[in-house]
Amino acid sequence: MILVVASATFREAVRSRTFLGLLAIFAFCALATRVVGWISATDGHVVSIDLVMSLQSVIGVLVAVATGTVLVQNEIQQKTLYTVLCRPLPRWHFVIGKFVGLAGALLASQAAMAAIGLAWVWITGAGLSPWLALAAAMTGLEVLVMAAVGLCLSMLTGPLLSAVLCLAVYGLGHAVATLPQLIDHLHGWQRTLAVVGASLVPNLGYFTFRAQAVHGHAMTLQDAAIALAYAGLWMALLLLISVAVFRRKQL
C-alpha cells in the first residue's frame, strides 16, 4: 500500500502547476546566468557554474516547500483522504507513502535541473568535472531533508505558516554551518543558546559542496558517507514525528 500511495503522490506532484512552473523558472534563470558571467570581473564560467548550482538548491527547496507543505492538507480539503483511510490502510503507511512519492518527484526534478544546468554551461564553453555531479547529488539530499521538514511542519500547522517556517529552517540551516567560526566569540548563556538552537535545525552545510566542486576540489568518501547518514537520520526523525502527529490528528 505504501507504493500505491507513493505512485499516486509522484504523479500528482509532477503534474502540479507549481512544480512545472518552478522548473521552467530554473531553466530561464540558468540561461540568464551566462549573462552574469559575461559582465563578471572574474572568470565568467566559474560564476555561471556557481550560480547554476546555487539555483538548483534554491529552486529545489522551493519545489519541496510548495509541494510538501500542502501534501496532506490537499487530501483533507478535497475529501480524498477519507476515501483512502476507510480502507485497511494504517496511517503511517499513508505518511510514508506520501513522502516516498514526493521524494521521487523531487529527485526527478533535481536530475532534470542538474542536466539542464550542466548541459548549458558545457554548451557555453565551461569545463565540467565529476565533482559537479556529486555536488548536484548533495543538493538532492538537502532538498529531501527540507521536504521532510515541510511535511513535518504541515502536520503541526497550516500550509502558509508551515511554508514560512520551512523557509526559515532553510536559512537557519545554512547559518548553522558557520557556527564553528562564531562559537569562540560567544560566552556563557549566549554560547549555550546558540548550541541548543543549532541542534534543533538540520545543518545544511553538510550538503553544500557546490563552491568546492566549482573549483575542482575533491570530496572524500568519508564526507559523502557522513552527509548521507546525516540526511538519513534527519529524515527518519522528521518522519517519525510526522507519523506520531498524524496518528493523533482528528480528521
Percent of the chain at pLDDT exceeding 90: 14
- Radius of gyration (Cα) for the chain, nearest Å? 19
What are the cell numbers at 15?
Answer: 503534474
The tens digit of pLDDT for each residue in 92-130 reads 788 898 899 999 999 998 998 888 888 887 887 777 777
**Whose grid coordinates read 504541515?**
154
Specify whether the CB–CB gap between 88 and 39 falls below 8 A. no
What is the Cα–Cα distance from 200 to 187, expressed in whole angstroms? 20
In degrees, rounded to 5, the angle at the alpha carbon of residue 83 between the alpha carbons of residues 78 and 88 is 145
Specify whether the CB–CB gap between 113 and 56 falls below 8 A. yes
Query: Cα–chain-centroid distance for residue 244?
Result: 22
Out of 30-39, 161-170, 219-228, give the one with best mean pLDDT: 161-170
The tens digit of pLDDT for each residue in 127-151 reads 777 788 888 888 999 999 999 999 9
**Higher pLDDT, residue 178 or 182:** 178
Mean pLDDT of 20-46: 72
Quick check: pTM over 0.75?
A: yes
The tens digit of pLDDT for each residue in 188-199 reads 666 677 666 667
Mean pLDDT of 155-178: 86
* Helical residues (DSSP H) of 124-220, grouped into ranges: 130-156, 159-176, 179-182, 189-199, 210-214
Mean pLDDT of 215-243: 87
Q: What is the mean pLDDT of the chain?
A: 81
Query: In a 10 Å sphere around its CB, with 0-12 CB exposed, 13-18 middle and 19+ buried, how is residue 190 labelled?
Result: exposed
Mean pLDDT of 28-50: 69
* Helical residues (DSSP H) of the chain, grouped into ranges: 2-15, 17-39, 44-68, 71-77, 80-85, 91-123, 130-156, 159-176, 179-182, 189-199, 210-214, 221-248
What are the cell numbers at 8?
Answer: 499516486
Amino acid at 187: H
Q: How confident is the model at residue 184 (pLDDT cuts 50, 70, 90)?
A: low
What is the Cα–Cα distance from 173 to 166, expressed in whole angstroms? 10
Q: End-to-end distance of the chain based on CA atoms, in angstroms?
A: 20
- Tell me the CA distances in angstroms from 208 to 25, 118, 203, one per residue in order: 22, 17, 10
Residue 228 has a pLDDT of 92
